């Protein structure tokens, strides 16, 4: 059952790619995607090393102790969607829209931790998931905002 769930997740993520990485903001979306993948992988590697979370069922178990599907596909794609949806919003709307992603994700992980063998929480709770997802989403959004300001500054200096 777990491998089927992971395969479904892979198919959904791959199917989302053409819709998320097109248009005038493709560069920004790629920056969001890859930076979130790096940040998620670093945090997950630390959490797994501290034995707070285990991934009994994962691709390439001899190579990775984390589940790379979550770290380099699923979470980055969700962050791309969130950044797209909240691109021109004020802080209040950004926070509200982040809750629309992090709360269901936390509840979903809690459900799957209880009802599947996808992962095992040792010293982890839905609140940890909520906090880490919120932290990484806002970190990436801040990073993209910084890059936008640098691009704008560079454009002003060239004129």
The rounded distance, in Å, linking the Cα atoms of 124 and 65 is 16
Least confident of 2-6, 58-62, 86-90, 152-156: 152-156
Q: Which residues contact 85 (CB under 8 A, 6 or more apart)?
A: 97
Could you report the per-residue pLDDT of 37-80, keeping only the tens digit for each? 999 999 999 999 999 999 999 999 999 999 999 999 999 999 99
Separation of CA 132 from chain center: 10
Decide if pLDDT at 156 tops 80.
no
Place of tokens 């190579």: 63
Long-range contacts of 2-9 (CB under 8 A, 24+ apart): 2/56, 2/57, 2/116, 2/117, 2/118, 3/57, 5/112, 5/116, 5/118, 6/57, 6/58, 6/59, 6/67, 6/69, 6/118, 9/69, 9/73, 9/74
Confidence at residue 159, expressed as pLDDT on a 0 to 100 scale: 62
Beta bridge partners of 54: 120
CB of 128 closer than 8 Å to CB of 136: no
Please count the structural domains in the chain: 1
Containing structural domain, residue 132: 2-158
């Amino acid at each position: 059952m777990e491998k089927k769930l992971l395969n479904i997740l892979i198919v959904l993520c791959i199917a989302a790619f053409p819709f998320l990485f097109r248009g005038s903001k493709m560069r920004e979306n790629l920056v969001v995607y890859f930076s979130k993948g790096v940040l998620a992988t670093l945090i997950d590697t630390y959490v797994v090393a501290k034995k707070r979370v285990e991934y009994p069922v994962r691709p390439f178990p001899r190579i990775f102790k984390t589940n790379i599907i979550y770290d380099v596909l699923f979470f980055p794609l969700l962050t791309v969607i969130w950044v797209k949806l909240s691109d021109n919003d004020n802080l209040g709307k950004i926070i509200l829209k982040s809750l629309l992603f992090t709360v269901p994700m936390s509840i979903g992980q809690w459900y799957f931790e209880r009802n599947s063998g996808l992962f095992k929480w040792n010293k982890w709770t839905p609140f940890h998931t909520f906090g880490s997802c919120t932290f990484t989403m806002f970190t990436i959004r801040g990073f993209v905002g910084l890059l936008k300001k640098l691009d704008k500054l560079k454009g002003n200096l060239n004129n």
